[in-house]
Amino acid sequence: MGSASEQIIVPLDVPGEGEAIALLDALPQVTFWKVGLELFVSSGPTLLKELKSRNKRIFLDLKFHDIPNTMAGACRAAGRYGVDLLTVHAASGKAALMAAQTAAAEGAQASGCEPPRVIAVTLLTSIDERSLSTDLKIPVALTDYIQQMALLAQESGLRGAVCSPQEASLLRRTCGDDFWLVCPGVRPTWAQKGDQQRAMTPAEAVQAGAHYLVIGRPITQAADPAAAFAQICEEMGG
């Protein structure tokens, strides 16, 4: 997977292009950036082009969840941007997941880009076992549900999943080493958990089997973002 710095994906969780550019300038050592819903809705592909011009890797985290035809159209369009990772919800079902995978590759091919690795969101890390049972009325253990969503994604042709680091070791055993695990909910010991209910330290998450770690506020909201990023890399061992 490369060095510790290459395993960290930093979210551009800011409202607009100006704030995003400021973060890119403040953290030139970051190689992998996440663009989520807020920034993509406000800035669209403009920011993606800026990232590509800086030779950065892109995690387009839009978490598509719709009927197969709509999923295919959205993923085909996303594939044209040359992004590296693209998220869809596993709960959208096998037909939609298969359509998403095929369409993303088609979009990339049409633009002469490498196809993105489409990965499935198993369960949002803000949802704990009580919320799964009480709010969503899903009467299975949280780990069983996450395992089933990952297996569904793999059976549908997807090549990875988003999961809490607490489920990484289970999914690594279940899905194998070639199935990438991207883990939000990662917080160094000196940072607050925020709204992540199933958090783990960066070193613990990698040891559990995570390929990539999504680490946002401990870096982007630090008094010195570059120093915070360097400290996390050091704690991970490189």
Active site residues: 63
The candidate with the shortest Cα–Cα distance to 106, out of 94, 118, 95, is: 118
User: What DSSP assignment string belongs to 164-217?
Assistant: -GGGHHHHHHHH-TTSEEEE--B--TTS--TT-SS-B-HHHHHHHT-SEEE--H
- Residue pair 12/39 in contact by the 8 Å Cβ criterion: yes
Q: Which residues pair with 120 in a beta bridge?
A: 88, 161
